[in-house]
A and B are shown apart, each in its own frame.
Chain A
Amino acid sequence: MKIPTLKGADISRRDFLRSGAAVATATLAPGVTLMAFGGSEAHAAADADKRWGLLIDANKCDADCDACVSACSKENGWAGEGNPETDPQWIRKITMQNTSTGREVTMPMMCQHCEEPPCVDVCPTGASFKRVDGIVLVDKHTCIGCRYCMMACPFDARSFVHEPVINQKSHAPRGQGTVESCTLCVHRIDKGGRPACVEACEATGHEAIIFGDLRDPESDISKRLAQYPSVALRPDLDLNPGVRYTNL
C-alpha cells in the first residue's frame, strides 16, 4: 500500500490475510468460508446500481442490413473464415417467419445477458460470470474450453475459438481453446460509451437497437419498455434477459 499507483498489488498474500480490515467473511458451513474483499470498488466502473440492456425493435430492422454485425466484428476483432460450423458469431442476423400469416421479421441476436444465466450455472471453473451491472462475460484466464456453457445457453450465443488467433484488439483478447460471446462492448461501457452495434445501427438511420440502464426509470430504454409491449426471448425459461425485443 506504499505505492499508490500500484493499487493493492504490493500487498503480499500474507499481509492480505493478516489485515482483517477490508475483508468480510461469512461462514457458510463448517470449513467453508465466503470472503468478500473491500477496497477496489471505489475505482470500479461496474456499478451494481445499474443494469445494462438493449431494446431491439424488429420493425425497424432492415432485412438487407448487417451494420451491427460488421461493426461488432470490427470492434472486437472476430471474423468468419468461411467455415459456418466453427466460425465465431458474437452477433448474427436471424429471420423469423410467422407460418400462418407469412410475415417475416429480421433482427440481431446476441448474448441476452440473462439475469439468471444458465452458462454461469454450469461453468465448472467460474470462468463464466455476471458482473454486478448484469453483463455476462467469460474470463478466458480460467476458461478450460469445456463448452458446457455453449450447451446450456438457450440462445446459441456463444462460440468456441477453434483456431490460433493473432492481431487481437487489446481491449478484446480472444484465443484458441476458450469460449467467447457478446461482451456488450464492456470496454466502451466502462468508459461511458455505448456498444458498437448500437452506434452502427443508429448511423444507418434505422435506430433499431437502443442501449441503456434498465434500473434507471428515466432512461430512454426504461421509458420505452414501460410504454410499449416488449418480450424477452424464451420467457418460459425465466432468465430475465437484459436484451428485449419489440414488434416481433
Chain B
Amino acid sequence: MTLFIRLALLFAFSFGAGSLAAQERSSLLPDIPAASGEPHAEGNEYWRRNHMDLMKHDRDSTLRDGDREIAASLKGCFDCHAAKDDAGQVVTYESEQHFCRACHDYVAVKVDCFMCHRSTPDGVDEHALQAAILPKKPLDSTDVQGVIAYLNQTESKPTEAGE
C-alpha cells in the first residue's frame, strides 16, 4: 500500500519529465515515453493507480465470459503506448525503453504479462526486433557446447522466463 502511495506521489511530481532528454533530467524519476491518441478521460493518475486492477477485472470477463467489449486490455494499451527507440522503431518488453518498463523497472517490479502476451501492437514483427537481443538457439541438439552456451545466455537474460 505504502509503495503505491509513494509511487503516486512520485508520478505526481514527475509529470512532464517525459519531454526532457535523458541528459537534461533534473530528477531521477522515471522517464515516461510519450503516448499517441486521446488522453485517458479519467486522467493519468487514475490509470497509473488502477491499471492492474482494471486489466485483471477485464481479462477475467474476456477469458471466462467471452466479453470482448472491454475497456482495459494490453492490446488497448499498445494502441497508444507503443514506445519507440531512438531510431523510431517500436520496442518490445526486452528493451528498457518499453512503456511498461519505464515505471516497473523504476520500482523493481517484474511483470509476467509478456511471457504470454505480445508487448507490441499487432502487425509488428517481434522476431525481427528481438533477434538481436535474444539468445540464439542451437540448431542441433547434439551440439552440447552450443546447448550449454544457450542455457547460460538464457539464464542471464533478466526478462527471460524460467528464473
Contacts and interface: CB of A to CB of B under 8 A. Distances in A.
Interface in B47-99: 50, 53-54, 57-59, 61, 63-72, 74-75, 92
B152 interface: no
B158 to A, nearest CB: 13
Nearest to B63: A139
Contact of A164 (B68, B71, B161): B161
Contact of A8 (B57, B141, B160): B57
A168 B66 contact: no
Contact of B116 (A40, A129, A165): A165
Interface residues of B, number: 38
Interface stretch (A26-34, A151-159, A169-177, A238-246): A169-177
Interface stretch (B17-25, B27-35, B101-109, B125-133): B125-133
B41 A170 contact: no
Nearest to A7: B71
A interface, how many residues as a size bin? 35 or more
A10 interface: yes
Nearest to B157: A164
B38 interface: no
Contacts of A177: 115, 161-162
A44 interface: yes
A41 B65 contact: yes
A173 B66 contact: no
Contact of B66 (A8, A45, A141, A175): A45
A17 B66 CA distance: 24
B118 A166 contact: yes
Contact of A9 (B71, B75, B117): B71
A194 interface: no
Contacts, number: 103
B117 A170 contact: yes
B67 A45 contact: yes
B115 A175 contact: yes
A117 B122 CA distance: 33
A173 to B, nearest CB: 4
Contacts of B118: 166-170, 173
A173 B116 contact: yes
A186 B160 CA distance: 29
Nearest to B130: A166
A9 B50 contact: yes
A121 interface: no
B143 interface: no
Interface string A137-163: 101110000000000000000000001
A120 B125 CA distance: 35
Most buried by A among B41, B64, B126: B64
B125 A45 contact: no
A75 interface: no
Interface of B: 41-42, 50, 53-54, 57-59, 61, 63-72, 74-75, 92, 115-118, 122, 125-127, 130, 134, 137, 141, 154, 160-162
Interface of A: 3, 5-10, 40-41, 43-46, 83, 129, 131-133, 137, 139-141, 163-170, 173-178, 186-187, 189-191
